[in-house]
Structure 1
Amino acid sequence: MALLEVSDLRVSFDTPDGTVRAVRGLSFTVDRGRTLAVVGESGSGKSVSTQTITGLTRGAEVSGTAFFDGTDLITADPATLRRIRGAQIGMIFQDPLSSLHPLYRVGWQITEMIQAHDQDVTRSAARRRAADLLGLVGIPRPAERIDDYPHQFSGGMRQRVMIAMAMALDPALLIADEPTTALDVTVQAQVLAVMRRLQEEFGTAIILITHDLGVVAEMSDEVIVMYAGAVMERAPRREVFYRNHHPYTRGLLASLPAQSGHRLTPIPGSPPSLIDPPAGCPFAARCPHVFDRCRAETPPLTDVYGDLRHQSACWLDHSGREAVAS
């Protein structure tokens, strides 16, 4: 049994303009010690899906299941979610400066979190644990820096503080939402190295949300490609990069900078409205291979290339032609 099993997750928000269907039928599993990358454009539902799993989307209409180590997080009561968050599921948010309280020293914030989940730990023991964690994630002179405020750290150092806080209680699952955003490549490499080292040491499962396909290539075991709140393709990392099937996945890869100096190839158009999504395939309006069936029927996730681990929501067959109706 997988550590986390999400099935048919659907998340909607009521707005003055209508109901936003932010996540539409998301399903995936994550095993211990493995990394699942979730990629896609902004607004594709990546962050909303993981925030919903951890009970952080108040006011949303949610359906589906998300079993974490046998507990359905979707129907869990607030007390159960508070007990699981932090202790068993650690989270690294996209902006560490807004996630850390500016008026409290970083050591106090880590210590407070440790004691909130383990009341048997003394204040001094929690503080020692906090200093050890700061050293583990590569912050120099941790015994001194523990008493600094968030603004006294660089962006990369703040991100390391967030990793230290997320890993304070050795969680079974780490959700990292754009952990390398706005970091230079050197600091980015250091942050990723810290995450890999922690995963190897504790056997932690990781859900990595990112726009950076280079990070995906370096970190992930499996990849989910999301678009307009739905999964377009799901496959092992190597399959996504070298044997992809969905035109949207190909468009994302084609938009990467090439070492040969060729111009970037952007995906034309914009994602559809999630208040009034179009019929058929959500990517139809931007797809270079679109045909009539794409605009009329929504393609289900089906196995491609004869591989049960590789699924694509597209009416094209393996050769790029229209699939034969069964």
Structure 2
Amino acid sequence: MSLLEVSDLHVSFRTTDGDVRAVRGVSFELDSGRTLGIVGESGSGKSVCTQTLLGLTTGARVRGTARFEGEDLLSMSEDEFRAVRGAKIAAIFQDPLSSLHPLYKVGWQIVEMIRAHEPVSRAAARRRAVELLGLVGIPHPAQRIDDYPHQFSGGMRQRALIAMALALEPKLVIADEPTTALDATVQAQILDLLLRLQQETGMALIMITHDLGVIAGLADEVMVMYAGRAAERADRRGLYYRAHHPYTNGLLESIPSSSAAGARLRPIPGQPPSLIRLPPGCAFHPRCAFAMDRCTREQPELTPVEDGAGHTSACWLPGRLLGTTEEMKRARQDASAAGRTVERVPGQGTGQDASVEEGAA
């Protein structure tokens, strides 16, 4: 049994305009010592999915199961959740300045979190807090423990949050965009720190981000989300080198490359759909250069891709789409120049020929 097993998770919020279907049938597993990267644009359901695991989506309607160490998190009472949250499952959020209370010293906040879960003296908790601040690389931790959050830089505040998250040696840490507000150098330091701490403690890690480049060297497996659903799942190498879903390829094309100086980035056209009024069929089809009639009628489920075990994609295109991002880019350019929409792309071993639907030119 995996440490965490999420099955058919649905999360929706009732509003005056209608139900916001934030998460729609997401499933995944995670073992101890492994890292799952969850990637997608803002509004794709990444944060809502994991906040539900922490019991932080008050007022939401939730269906499905989320078993952590064999127990369903979604059926726990608030008191049961309080015993798990922080102690066994910890979180690192995007904005450390809003996560830390500005009126209390950083060390006091770590001490109180420790004492809320363990019967230890304040002096013992303080010693543990100093040790943790040193572990995450804050200089002179015995002195800095009495500083307020505004006296820390952005990177140091994020390190303090990581220290707080690791205080009780949790088995699972959820990092929700932990490097978004940091510059590139500090971002790399924080990612290296998380990787080192994972190797030392054996914790499982869920890394949420909108940038595939952030988790290129961190995640063991990546799940790409779009409009509340999983669009593609694969191990890191399979996703980066043999991406299948057009949305995943679009995200990969938006990563700046040092080897293509001066080259223009290719953004994904259009906007993510409203989660209240989702388009029929595949939610990505209005933005997809490879959309065909079936995409507008039927919603694809995650199905295996031919390039390896465990690689699945929710797309009607057969097999490996075109193999690489560059090949996909050339095919898209050729179709655009000819005024066509790709109707079917030959899959590896399918024996099918490519056909196209002429555009109105």
Matched to 1:109, the amino acid is Q
Correspondence 1:134-145 to 2 at 5 A: 134-145=133-144
Residue of structure 2 in register with 1:156 after alignment: 155
TM-superposed CA distance for 1:118, in Å, is 0.5
SS at match of 1:110: helix
Residue of structure 1 in register with 2:289 after alignment: 288
TM-superposed CA distance for 1:54, in Å, is 0.9
Q: 1:306 and 1:197 mapped to 2: Cα distance? A: 31
Residue of structure 1 in register with 2:332 after alignment: none
Q: 1:98 and 1:306 mapped to 2: Cα distance? A: 43
Residue of structure 1 in register with 2:268 after alignment: 267
Q: 1:214 and 1:20 mapped to 2: Cα distance? A: 29
Correspondence 1:84-123 to 2 at 5 A: 84-119=84-119, 121-123=120-122
Per-residue CA deviations over 1:137-174 (Å, capped at 9, x if unaligned) read 00000000000000100000000000000000010000
Residue of structure 1 in register with 2:315 after alignment: 314
Please, what TM-score do these two structures have when normalized by structure 2?
0.88
Contact 1:267 1:286 in 2 (8 A): yes
Contact 1:232 1:246 in 2 (8 A): yes
Identity %: 65
Q: 1:197 and 1:241 mapped to 2: Cα distance? A: 23
Correspondence 1:208-227 to 2 at 5 A: 208-227=207-226
Residue of structure 2 in register with 1:250 after alignment: 249
How has the CA–CA distance of structure 1 residues 243 and 319 changed in structure 2, closer, same or farther, with 3 Å as cutoff?
closer
Q: 1:160 and 1:278 mapped to 2: Cα distance? A: 41
List structure 1 segments (4+ residues) > 6 angstroms apart after TM superposition: none
TM-superposed CA distance for 1:312, in Å, is 0.2
Residue of structure 1 in register with 2:20 after alignment: 20
How has the CA–CA distance of structure 1 residues 319 and 309 changed in structure 2, closer, same or farther, with 3 Å as cutoff?
closer
SS at match of 2:163: helix
Q: 1:192 and 1:307 mapped to 2: Cα distance? A: 28
Matched to 2:46, the amino acid is K
Q: 1:22 and 1:269 mapped to 2: Cα distance? A: 19
Q: 1:181 and 1:129 mapped to 2: Cα distance? A: 28
Q: 2:213 and 2:305 mapped to 1: Cα distance? A: 24
Per-residue CA deviations over 1:163-209 (Å, capped at 9, x if unaligned) read 00000001000000011112111111211121111111110000000
Q: 2:111 and 2:236 mapped to 1: Cα distance? A: 37
The reply to whether residue 2 of structure 1 matches residue 7 of structure 2 is no
SS at match of 1:258: coil
Residue of structure 2 in register with 1:167 after alignment: 166
Matched to 1:305, the amino acid is E
Residue of structure 1 in register with 2:146 after alignment: 147
Residue of structure 1 in register with 2:36 after alignment: 36
Matched to 2:54, the amino acid is T
Contact 1:279 1:298 in 2 (8 A): yes
Matched to 1:3, the amino acid is L
Contact 1:258 1:264 in 2 (8 A): no
Unaligned runs of 5+ in 1: none
Contact 2:242 2:320 in 1 (8 A): no
SS at match of 2:175: strand
Residue of structure 2 in register with 1:193 after alignment: 192
SS at match of 1:21: strand
SS at match of 1:219: coil
Contact 2:231 2:302 in 1 (8 A): yes
Matched to 1:177, the amino acid is D
Q: 1:266 and 1:196 mapped to 2: Cα distance? A: 30
Q: 1:135 and 1:9 mapped to 2: Cα distance? A: 38
Please, what TM-score do these two structures have when normalized by structure 1?
0.97
Q: Does 1 or 2 have the higher relative contact order (CA < 8 Å, sep 6+)?
A: 1
Contact 1:35 1:208 in 2 (8 A): yes
Residue of structure 2 in register with 1:124 after alignment: 123
TM-superposed CA distance for 1:215, in Å, is 1.6
Alpha-carbon RMSD: 1.1
Contact 2:306 2:320 in 1 (8 A): no
TM-superposed CA distance for 1:319, in Å, is 4.7
TM-superposed CA distance for 1:258, in Å, is 2.5
Contact 2:307 2:320 in 1 (8 A): no
Who wins on radius of gyration, i.e. which is larger? 2
Per-residue CA deviations over 1:86-131 (Å, capped at 9, x if unaligned) read 0001100111100101110010100000010002x11101000000
TM-superposed CA distance for 1:70, in Å, is 1.1
Matched to 1:186, the amino acid is T
Residue of structure 2 in register with 1:55 after alignment: 55
Matched to 2:104, the amino acid is Y
Residue of structure 2 in register with 1:78 after alignment: 78
SS at match of 1:308: coil
SS at match of 2:81: helix
TM-superposed CA distance for 1:306, in Å, is 5.3
SS at match of 1:250: helix
The number of residues matched between the two structures is: 323
Matched to 1:301, the amino acid is L
Per-residue CA deviations over 1:35-56 (Å, capped at 9, x if unaligned) read 0000000000000000011100
The reply to whether residue 179 of structure 1 matches residue 184 of structure 2 is no
Matched to 1:154, the amino acid is S
